[in-house]
Amino acid sequence: MKDTVLVIEVKPNSAQNKIVRIQDGSYKVYLKAPAMEGRANHALIKYLSDILQCSSSKIQLVKGSKIRIKKIKIEEESETVIRLLNNAIR
């Protein structure tokens, strides 16, 4: 199985948790969690694990722990990840 690597922009302190697709094809995730003490990072991994229906241990924050642009590695095939993310877009 190949891992999937995504670049995701995170917007903490939002009214609700949601994911949107940006014009360039990347994703932006709005999170209720604040950007303090890693709360937004933990919330991002939990939110993605819910969407992707996988354990949070299969999702790793590779880069961007203190900035809004995150590089995420997911232990899942790209086609599956993209399909599930696109299904979650409201």
* HSE, side-chain direction, 13 A CA sphere, residue 78: 5
- pLDDT of 18-77, one tens digit each? 999 998 989 999 999 999 999 999 999 999 999 999 999 999 999 999 999 999 999 999
What CATH number should be reported for the domain holding residue 39?
3.30.1200.10
At 85, which helix (H) or strand (E)?
A: helix 78-88
Q: Provide the whole-model pTM.
A: 0.93
Amino acid 2: pLDDT: 87
Structural domain including 53 reads 4-88
Number of structural domains (the chain) is 1
Instruction: Tell which residue, 4, 18, 1, has the closest CA to residue 83.
Output: 4
